[in-house]
């Protein structure tokens, strides 16, 4: 009888632990652990090596490791590759650190915003868009289309959130398929 109760308790604990591990999606082939901060998780994603290099070049590592909370729309490497030739290299030059910082902070919003929260705000608005500002001061908008959520930059370019609600110790990451470009 004791073995059965112990086995049942162990299975229940395993199920809870498995559900907790399954709660956060894998990103770039790596597990994203909720107890890690945004930078600690991003460096493990094979899909975010360009973003990590840019964050380092801009000197934003310490900021994105702070308490936050932050919501980060994290462009994948392919999004950076889709920019005009030479753009990334130019942004990574030390003399362009200010512009790089502006571009990167146009992907960060204060607070911990789930995709459900953003979609709900967009659906509730008169024009179908939730309008908000990045920490850079640049305007962003979100639109829910069916099951998809899109983030628009100031130029009207739309990026689809491909992986949402990646919980971090200091916020949340939503993976996007474009680089949001401020004006």
Q: Find the CATH number of the domain harbouring 74.
A: 2.30.180.10
Q: What is the chain's Cα-based Rg?
A: 19
Question: Is 12 a member of any domain?
Answer: yes
> Residue 55: how many CB atoms within 10 A of its CB?
24
Q: Residues 32, 26: contact at Cβ < 8 Å?
A: yes
42 pLDDT more than 70: yes
Q: Residues 33, 45: contact at Cβ < 8 Å?
A: no
Number of structural domains, the chain?
1
Angle at 115 between CA 135 and CA 138, to 5 degrees: 20
Instruction: Give the range of the structural domain holding residue 94, as residue numbers without chain letter.
Output: 2-176
What pLDDT shows up at residue 152?
97
Question: Is 182 a member of any domain?
Answer: no
What pLDDT shows up at residue 29?
74
**Per-residue DSSP letters for 20-59?**
HHHHSPPBTTB---TTS-HHHHHTT-GGGHHHHHHHHHHT
Question: Is 151 a member of any domain?
Answer: yes
Confidence of residue 12 (pLDDT cuts 50, 70, 90): very low
Question: Is 181 a member of any domain?
Answer: no
DSSP state of 84: P
Q: Which pair of tokens denotes residue 146?
A: 């069916």
Question: Is 183 a member of any domain?
Answer: no
Q: Residues 121, 113: contact at Cβ < 8 Å?
A: no
Beta bridge partners of 131: 141
Question: Is 136 a member of any domain?
Answer: yes
Q: What is the pLDDT of residues 91-149, one digit of tens each?
A: 999 999 999 999 999 999 999 999 999 999 999 999 999 999 999 999 999 999 999 99
Question: Is 103 a member of any domain?
Answer: yes
Q: What is the mean pLDDT of residues 139-164?
A: 95
What pLDDT shows up at residue 3?
41
């Amino acid at each position: 009888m004791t073995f059965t109760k112990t086995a049942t308790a162990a299975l229940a604990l395993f199920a809870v632990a498995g559900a907790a591990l399954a709660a956060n999606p894998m990103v770039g082939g790596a597990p994203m652990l909720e107890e890690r901060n945004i930078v600690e998780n991003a460096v493990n994603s094979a899909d975010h090596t360009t973003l990590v290099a840019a964050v380092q070049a801009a000197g934003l590592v310490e900021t994105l490791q702070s308490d936050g909370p932050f919501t980060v729309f994290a462009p994948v490497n392919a999004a950076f590759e889709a920019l005009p030739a030479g753009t990334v290299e130019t942004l990574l030059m030390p003399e362009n650190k200010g512009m790089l910082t502006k571009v990167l902070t146009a992907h960060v919003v204060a607070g911990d915003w789930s995709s459900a929260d953003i979609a709900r705000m967009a659906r509730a608005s008169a024009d179908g868009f939730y309008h908000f500002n990045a920490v850079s001061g640049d305007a962003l908008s979100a639109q829910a289309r069916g099951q998809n959520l899109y983030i628009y930059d100031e130029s009207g370019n739309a990026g689809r959130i491909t992986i949402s609600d990646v919980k971090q110790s200091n916020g949340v990451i939503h993976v996007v398929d474009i680089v949001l470009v401020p004006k």
